[in-house]
Structure 1
Amino acid sequence: MLEEIRHMLMQRMFMKKDIMLKCTDQICPNIRKKLEKFKEDIRYCMVTPSGNMKFEVQCLDKVHVVNLSNQSCSCRSWDLCGIPCKHVISCIAWMKDGPDKYVSDFYKREAYLKTYEHFMEPLRGKEAWPNVEGPHVLPPVVKNMLDRPKKVFSRERSITLQGFEVYVGEETGNTYFRV
């Protein structure tokens, strides 16, 4: 199983690095898709500049405050993940600028390639492994965990049935037992 995981990781790391080497954009493809989706959503936002890189953005029925110098938005999406939200992108579009320089460096091409610059060394097959002298490694002993003790129920115990008569209207007769 560990060999399968190692093999899968080798393939994944090579594939991820190869995809990014072929990409010419400075931002990762998935982040670029999010930015494009946010660019479509800014048509519902109305920007009011306040000065000093601060803006008030009215988006449908909600109002958000954007500070481009601190890289913060009152919806906190940009603060948490580093990708400009639609409120920020609407402010950037109002300034006639592009959102690429406002994306966190973690989502840039250089950081992605730096993540996958190391690779896993290939190994020879199992038949080429050296034989090791010594005791064989055994799996751990599995103990059954103790359960709660079962309640002992016995009908032979001294259960006495005590009865009482129930009178319904004028008739007598039905007897019920209570334990």
Structure 2
Amino acid sequence: MGHQWKTKLTPNAETHLDFSRRKGRHHIACPIGQYLFEVLSSTNVDIVDLEKKICTCGVFHTIGLPCSHAMAAITKRNYDEYDFCQPWYLTEKYRDTYEEVVLPTLDRSQWQVPPHSLVYIIIAVHVAN
């Protein structure tokens, strides 16, 4: 499947980037520094740091793809938007990952759990509660 893709990023990542690009056109990016921006949207004011790949909206650094605020800042500086995407979204990386056969996992009922592992599971459940 991945060999048929002609885009730089996987299709889902390209879709996200396109959405962010279109939404970002309606934002105003005000430079604070080389990589720092105050981005005004119709509802919020967000701070984007392109160098750290973060935005106060939380999307940029959480998923590793530019949010609309970051896209507004990237466009303001005429940067390449692909430079701000995490490498695991690259079609090439996807192809490399699945180049070898990936065997499916067994059903949970078929798992062989060593007895000493159960102690850690019991402790983890007890601590979580």
Q: TM-score, normalised by structure 2?
A: 0.74
Aligned equivalent of 1:62? 44
User: Aligned-pair distance for 1:20?
Assistant: 1.5
* Amino acid across the alignment from 1:21: H
Equivalent of residue 95 in structure 2, options 90, 113, 116 = 113
CA RMSD of aligned residues (A): 1.5
How many angstroms apart in 1 are the aligned matches of 2:18 and 2:80? 11
Shift of the 71–108 alpha-carbon distance from structure 1 to 2, 3 Å rule, reads: same
Asked if residue 33 in structure 1 is aligned to residue 15 in structure 2, the reply is yes
Structure 2 unaligned blocks of 5 or more: 104-129
**Separation of aligned partners in 2, 1:62 and 1:38:** 15
Structure 1 counterpart of 2:16, which letter?
Answer: K
After superposition, the Cα gap between the structure-2 partners of 1:65 and 1:117, relative to the gap in structure 1 and judged at 3 Å, is same
Establish whether residue 43 from structure 1 lines up as the match of residue 19 from structure 2: no
Say if 1:29 and 1:58 are closer, same or farther in 2 by CA, change over 3 A. Answer: same
Structure possessing the higher radius of gyration over alpha carbons: 1
Q: Aligned in 2, Cα 1:111/1:64: closer, same or farther, shift over 3 Å?
A: same
The residue aligned with 1:75 is 57
Q: How many correspondences in the alignment?
A: 103
C-alpha separation in 2, matches of 1:99 and 1:72: 14
User: By percentage of residues, which structure has more helix?
Assistant: 2
Task: Say if 2:104 is the partner of 1:97.
Answer: no
- Structure 1 segments of 4+ aligned residues over 6 angstroms from their partners: none
Mapped partners of 2:66, 2:41: distance in 1: 15
Q: Distance in 2 between matches of 1:62 and 1:25?
A: 32
1:99-148 alpha-carbon deviations (Å, 9 max, x no partner):
11111011012221122111268xxxxxxxxxxxxxxxxxxxxxxxxxxx
Taking every aligned residue pair, what percent have the same amino acid on both sides?
A: 24
